[in-house]
Amino acid sequence: MIKIENLHKYFENKKVLNGVNLDIEEGTSSVIIGGSGTGKSVLIKCILGLLTPEEGKISIKNNFIFENGKFKKNSKIKIGMLFQGGALFDSLRIWQNVSFYNIQNGKNKKFCFEDAILNLEKVGLSKDVVNLYPSELSGGMQKKSCFSKGYFH
């Protein structure tokens, strides 16, 4: 499902990933374990395309999404990501957080509100939470809201 070959990532002259190889089978769950600051998040960000490695190959479902120093444009692979720290805006209500992208792109308020309810339902959150602020949700509910925000756009 995910194959990584000889991945290298540097920041200035700091070497974080030094020839990482990884093979993850479809339908399995994997955990990347290591000490703080050892490159786990950097590795995941490279797979997501948020960071560009210096060298190596990344393929998903047998399609190379990164090779020869470049990410392939128009890759149809969809990846869900839940960030380590909550990525909700404190001063916005949950529906405004979940629909942030649509709001920024000028979609009307009713659409954004209803779309947020649909996306929250997909992660098991009821519409009772839509008008709350992040601090009024439990840690797990905040994580679910983040996932709903990031995944369904």
Ligand X SMILES: Nc1ncnc2c1ncn2[C@@H]1O[C@H](COP(=O)(O)OP(=O)(O)OP(=O)(O)O)[C@@H](O)[C@H]1O
Indicate which single residue of 4, 7, 16, 103 sits in contact with ligand X (rule: CB under 6 A). 16
Give me the sheet containing 55-60, strands edge to edge. Answer: 14-24, 2-11, 55-60, 63-67, 70-71
Q: Which of 7, 39, 56, 141 binds ligand X (CB under 6 A)?
A: 39
Span interacting with Mg ion, options 16-24, 37-45, 48-56, 105-113, rule CB under 5 A: 37-45
Q: Which does 37 bind (CB under 5 to 8 A by kind): Mg ion, ligand X, none?
A: ligand X
Helix residue ranges per DSSP H, 49-138: 94-98, 100-104, 109-122
**Of 10 and 83, CB closest to Mg ion:** 83
CA distances from 20 to 44, 107, 152 (A): 12, 42, 30
Q: Which of 2, 3, 5, 41 binds Mg ion (CB under 5 A)?
A: 41
